[in-house]
Amino acid sequence: MPDGGNSGVKAGIGDDCSILRIPAGRELLVTTDYSLEGVHFRREWHAAEVAGHRCLTRGLSDIAAMGGEPIAAFLSLALPPKLPQRWVDGFMRGLLKLAGESKVELAGGDTAESPGGVLADIVVVGSVPKGKAVLRSGARPGDRIYVTGELGGAAAALDLLFSKERLDRDLFVRHFWPVARVGIGRSLRQKGIASSMIDISDGLSPDLAHICEQSGVGAEVREDAVPRARIGKAAREVGLRFALHGGDDYELLFTSSKPVPRKIAEVKVTEIGRVIRGRKMILLDAKGRRRALRPAGWEHFKR
Amino acid sequence: MPDGGNSGVKAGIGDDCSILRIPAGRELLVTTDYSLEGVHFRREWHAAEVAGHRCLTRGLSDIAAMGGEPIAAFLSLALPPKLPQRWVDGFMRGLLKLAGESKVELAGGDTAESPGGVLADIVVVGSVPKGKAVLRSGARPGDRIYVTGELGGAAAALDLLFSKERLDRDLFVRHFWPVARVGIGRSLRQKGIASSMIDISDGLSPDLAHICEQSGVGAEVREDAVPRARIGKAAREVGLRFALHGGDDYELLFTSSKPVPRKIAEVKVTEIGRVIRGRKMILLDAKGRRRALRPAGWEHFKR
């Protein structure tokens, strides 16, 4: 159950600032994420609703990764003068539908004329009980490493888009309609399960590297344990490189020394390795051979 | 004196979200403002430090207009691949210098590659005692209308820039180094002087129109009472149209039914008219002739 019920937007759009109430005993979470046309989305690939949905998902996912409750979103939106109004309407429809489902109020932002392409910057404000935010810095040697859901689906779809394939949005759901794991993040925080947490927005390898860096630890990942997404009509399993390095999945990566349920809120949770001393990230193959796991992110897929 | 001393940044850059503490008894203020190359600034007109300074000023000024205390800033910055690093360094230097002077911590943000031009979105978070934010909606018929400082200096400089004049930054301070009136806004709120307030970012006429709209009132402005900026080597007074419609001055416009000091924190405060019933904005000339004051903003100066 949400425990941020007392927070809320007291005054939204229409004044110099928006006014929010944060209940005593809670700390504030703030995250900002760009969604730029030609960088994070393309109008020929992503329908307006999809672009709006993905824009807000980026912010919600950061709140999820702290174990927080989202409260309000702020959208800075710059639009090219000749953009059809129906595109803007679609973008806002996609964003506001997700905001409604997530009980997040769009409480302000800015608008401007864009010198080129649609430029969106989403700010999401949330809260968490004082001192309870799940940080990237809490992983300890011996902790096990877990991920929610399956990985690589979003990046594998992107790869197909680059190959000029036309994709059915409903068969590539994790690319077009990603889901921020807000409820799962909150549950992991409330139950004190996660010692550290991050959302997989850049890719498993770079995001695990962030955990290692902030916690001062290393990691050992079992290649065959990494849950790979199935995509398309044939429900084909994605290649390992997409699961290891592909971004935009918005699953949660966390570490824990405690018993972890195999499912949380109907979503599979998979143990993929363990936290080790040192600073290295190691990949173990099925035969037990070890090689370095190097952070390679979304940029990997740019062409 | 600042009264937000207990607020602060608990965790800044380096996690999924930044964590802020807001003391009990205070409400949160949030504002976001784009500074886009080619729209809000031009690299050939505005040195990197100036662009960074003006970027943060936009956000601080919105906090000032609520009578709030700024706490933290978040910067989403997208940069073209070929932008010289020294430009980025200069931009950050200008922004961080002002942040330091304003006791605002840069607590997070996002970075991205820009598809065209420097794109900055500044988020400023502040706080104000519960229920004490000065809104746009509090103006009542009979209140007097006041502005801080002098108007039109920023827009008149912009007009000269459009005419291809090269300007000495130190002679056109209000354009290149605008000052958000945070201390004055806070003082007006603490003393309960302002019934409504807004910052003059779009221009006196459009910003006064926002007050009228949100308060459900009209306004009568005495043309010869509007304080006009003096610019350039000759300290020439700017034309009336700049003072009435020019943006980017970041002075405060407020209404009050109480005695108002002629100076606050060394800055002149000038009575320029009064709030009236109805919804019309009227301009009175020196001979007492009345004409409609129509909102005309910054766009007015685009060529």
pLDDT for A118 beyond 80: yes
Bridge partners (DSSP) listed for residue A110: A76
- What's the pLDDT band for B5 if we cut at 50, 70, 90? very low
pLDDT for B275 equals 98
Q: Distance (Å, rounded) from C-alpha B78 to C-alpha B120?
A: 6
Query: What does pLDDT average to over chain B?
Result: 93
- What's the pLDDT band for A3 if we cut at 50, 70, 90? very low
> Which residue in chain B has the smallest CA separation from A17?
B31
pLDDT for B4 equals 42
Nearest CB neighbour to B214, from listed A14, A107, A123:
A14
pLDDT for B3 beyond 70: no
Q: Where is pLDDT greater, at A169 or B146?
A: B146
Contact assessment for residue A74 and residue A19, using Cβ atoms and an 8 Å cutoff: no
Nearest CB neighbour to B27, from listed A10, A107, A135:
A10
Is the Cβ pair A65, B115 closer than 8 Å? Answer: no
Q: Distance (Å, rounded) from C-alpha B143 to C-alpha B145?
A: 7
pLDDT for A1 beyond 60: no
Q: Which chain B residues in 202-221 lie under 8 Å from chain A, judged by CB atoms?
A: 214
Q: What is the pLDDT of residues A80-117, one digit of tens each?
A: 999 999 999 999 999 999 999 999 999 999 999 998 89
Is the Cβ pair A72, B30 closer than 8 Å? Answer: yes
Nearest CB neighbour to A76, from listed B34, B38, B63:
B34
Q: Distance (Å, rounded) from C-alpha B134 to C-alpha B190?
A: 10
Nearest CB neighbour to A30, from listed B20, B116, B197:
B20
Give this prediction's pTM: 0.93
Nearest CB neighbour to B113, from listed A22, A39, A108:
A39
Place of tokens 């430029």: A119
Q: Which of A185, A201, A70 is nearest to B110 (CA)?
A: A201
Q: Using a CB–CB cutoff of 8 Å, tell me whether A31 touches chain B.
A: yes
**Distance, in angstroms, between A170 CA and closest chain B CA?**
29
Contacts of B67 in chain A (CB under 8 A): none
Place of tokens 């502005």: B147
Query: What does pLDDT average to over chain A?
Result: 93
Is the Cβ pair B123, A74 closer than 8 Å? Answer: yes
pLDDT for A58 beyond 70: yes
Of B71-75, B155-159, B274-278, minimum mean pLDDT range: B155-159
Contacts of B39 in chain A (CB under 8 A): 78, 112-115
> Which residue in chain B has the smallest CA separation from A12?
B30
Nearest CB neighbour to A19, from listed B27, B76, B110:
B27
Q: Is B63 left (phi over 0), alpha (psi -120 to 50) or beta?
A: alpha
Q: Distance (Å, rounded) from C-alpha B280 to C-alpha A157?
A: 56
Q: Which of A54, A99, A76, A69 is nearest to B30 (CA)?
A: A76
pLDDT for B49 beyond 70: yes
Contacts of B10 in chain A (CB under 8 A): 27
pLDDT for A2 equals 41
Q: Which residues contact A60 (CB under 8 A, 6 or more apart)?
A: A70, A98, A102, A104, A124, A180, A182
Contacts of B68 in chain A (CB under 8 A): 17
Contacts of A117 in chain B (CB under 8 A): 115-116
Q: Which chain B residues in 242-261 lie under 8 Å from chain A, judged by CB atoms?
A: none
Mean pLDDT of B207-217: 98
- What's the pLDDT band for B12 if we cut at 50, 70, 90? confident
Is the Cβ pair A133, B17 closer than 8 Å? Answer: yes
pLDDT for A11 equals 83
pLDDT for B149 beyond 60: yes
pLDDT for B88 beyond 90: yes
- What's the pLDDT band for B298 if we cut at 50, 70, 90? low
Rg (CA), chain A: 19
% of residues, chain B, pLDDT over 70: 95
Is the Cβ pair A27, B14 closer than 8 Å? Answer: no
Is the Cβ pair B31, A21 closer than 8 Å? Answer: no
% of residues, chain A, pLDDT over 90: 86
Is the Cβ pair B110, A125 closer than 8 Å? Answer: no
Q: What is the ipTM of this complex?
A: 0.92
pLDDT for B7 equals 60
Contacts of A24 in chain B (CB under 8 A): 24
Mean pLDDT of B198-210: 96
pLDDT for B50 equals 97
pLDDT for A171 beyond 70: yes
Is the Cβ pair B136, A15 closer than 8 Å? Answer: yes
Is the Cβ pair A116, B116 closer than 8 Å? Answer: yes
Mutate to test the interface with A, among B10, B15, B201 (most CBs of A within 10 A): B15
Q: Which chain A residues in 185-204 lie under 8 Å from chain B, judged by CB atoms?
A: 197-199
Mean pLDDT of A15-30: 93
The DSSP symbol for A218 reads E
Is the Cβ pair A115, B24 closer than 8 Å? Answer: no
Of A52-66, A218-232, B149-163, B289-303, minimum mean pLDDT range: B289-303
pLDDT for B47 equals 95
**Sheet strands (E) in chain B:** 8-11, 18-21, 26-36, 69-79, 105-113, 119-129, 144-148, 196-200, 218-222, 230-231, 236-237, 251-256, 263-264, 267-276, 281-284, 290-292
For CA atoms A111, A113, A115, A118, the dihedral sign is: positive
**Distance, in angstroms, between A234 CA and closest chain B CA?**
35
> Which residue in chain B has the smallest CA separation from A112?
B34
pLDDT for B302 beyond 80: no
- What's the pLDDT band for A29 if we cut at 50, 70, 90? very high
Q: What is the pLDDT of residues B227-277, one digit of tens each?
A: 999 998 889 999 999 999 999 999 999 999 999 999 999 999 999 999 999
pLDDT for A248 beyond 60: yes
- What's the pLDDT band for A5 if we cut at 50, 70, 90? very low
Place of tokens 């952070």: A295
pLDDT for B1 beyond 80: no
Mean pLDDT of B169-179: 91
**Distance, in angstroms, between B56 CA and closest chain A CA?**
14
Nearest CB neighbour to A32, from listed B109, B133, B197:
B109
SS (H, E, C) B56-104: HHHHHHHHHCCCCEEEEEEEEEEECCCCCHHHHHHHHHHHHHHHHHCCC
- What's the pLDDT band for B169 if we cut at 50, 70, 90? confident
pLDDT for A63 beyond 60: yes
Is the Cβ pair A135, B214 closer than 8 Å? Answer: no
Q: Which residues contact A125 (CB under 8 A, 6 or more apart)?
A: A20, A28, A29, A30, A70, A71, A72, A73, A74, B28, B30
pLDDT for A301 equals 41
Nearest CB neighbour to B16, from listed A31, A40, A130:
A31
pLDDT for A10 equals 87
